[in-house]
A and B are shown apart, each in its own frame.
Chain A
Amino acid sequence: MFPFRRFRVEDESMRPTLEPGDYVLVNRWAYRFRSPGPGDLVVVQDPEVPIRFLVKRVSDAKNAAHVEVLGDNRASSRDSRAFGPIAIDRIVGKVWLRLRP
């Protein structure tokens, strides 16, 4: 399995870090030998709509099995404040590179 996968960013909850139209390269092996930590940008499976992916920032990783994620644009982000913590196995990977037009 190739570790990197690209995603196209939509919506505005990660502004100004990620703008709609950016691409991100996600390292799916990033958490094989280390755990996610606060501040990591991650792509996760949406706990509310499992066929969809979300890109958010890890805010809390104290519990080994779960992380909490927040959007950088707090005023308009649907994140762990709404849907709670996310199980580690729902994390697709860590954002490794941002591609901006």
Chain B
Amino acid sequence: MSLLHSLARRLDRISLAPVAYAHCDIPCGIYDPHHAQMAAHTVIRMVDLINQLEKPGSNATPEQRQEYTAKLTRYVATKEQHAEIAKAEVRILWGDYFKPDHLKTFPDLHDLVWKALKSGSKARQEINLQAAEDLLKATNDIASIYWKTKGLETMTVKAPYPTERQTVYPKFR
């Protein structure tokens, strides 16, 4: 292979090869589990909002039914979208950030990722608070591992969102 590579380089002196960009969007090496955690919070919030939504009674007006349907549709759409965001963010951390060395230190990482993806799918498909809670727990556990690989301690505190669930944050010094 390297013979052909040096041949290609020599050809460049005669006629420069055009560049094919493996174009980047953002600088590489920038990862943060917070996106996944926030998306999981959103899923919980949407399940809460859906459950709090008053169903139209038998004597509801068409307008009331329409308003109910519009709200329900928005909450469901947002729930599904953010469950998918949480899954995508977990996959990015798993596929792009975590390395085999990390796995030696944190052998349950694969299992956690699997739990996050499974509970994320369930939270997306159903109106299921437990699945949403499981998704947040898995993203918290992954965040905890992520920050440990960065040499940072973590703290688990109540999130400053309406969901108020326990959330893992790094302790920046």
Residues of A within 8 A of B (CB): 5-15, 18, 20, 22-24, 26, 43, 46, 52-56, 71, 73-79, 82, 97-101
Residue B60 interfacial (CB < 8 Å): no
Q: Which of A6, A53, A76, A79 contacts B28 (CB 8 A)?
A: A76
Q: A6-B11, A8-B18, A23-B5 are in contact. Are A13 and B24 (CB under 8 A)?
A: yes
A55 near B20 with CB under 8 A, answer: yes
Chain B CB within 10 Å — which of A10, A18, A97 has the most? A10
Query: Does B70 reach chain A (CB closer than 8 Å)?
Result: no
Which residues of B are found within 8 Å of A13, using beta-carbon distances?
22-25
Residue of B17, B20, B25, B97 touching A77 (CB-CB under 8 A) = B25
For B23, B91, B95, the residue with the greatest tally of chain A CB atoms inside 10 Å of its CB is: B23
B17 CB, min distance to chain A CBs, angstroms:
5
Contact between A11 and B25, CB atoms less than 8 A apart: no
B95 touches A23 (CB 8 A): no
- Asked whether B27 lies within 8 Å of A99 as measured between CB atoms, the reply is no
Closest 8 CB pairs of A and B: A14-B22, A7-B20, A55-B20, A78-B25, A23-B8, A99-B5, A13-B22, A75-B96
Give A51's nearest chain B residue, CB to CB.
B18
Seen from chain B, the residues whose Cβ lies within 8 Å of a Cβ on chain A are: 1-2, 4-6, 8-9, 11-12, 17-28, 30-31, 91-92, 95-97
Minimum CB distance partner of B2 in chain A = A101
Which residue of the partner chain B has the closest CB to A24?
Answer: B20
Which of A14, A46, A75, A101 is in CB contact (< 8 Å) with B92? A75
Select from chain A the residue with minimum beta-carbon distance to B31: A75
With CB as the reference atom, state the residue of chain A lying closest to B96. Answer: A75
A11-B24, A56-B22 given; 11 more Cβ-contact pairs under 8 Å: A6-B8, A7-B18, A7-B20, A8-B8, A10-B20, A10-B22, A24-B20, A74-B91, A75-B30, A98-B1, A100-B2
- Give the most central of B2, B4, B12, B31: most A CB within 10 Å: B4
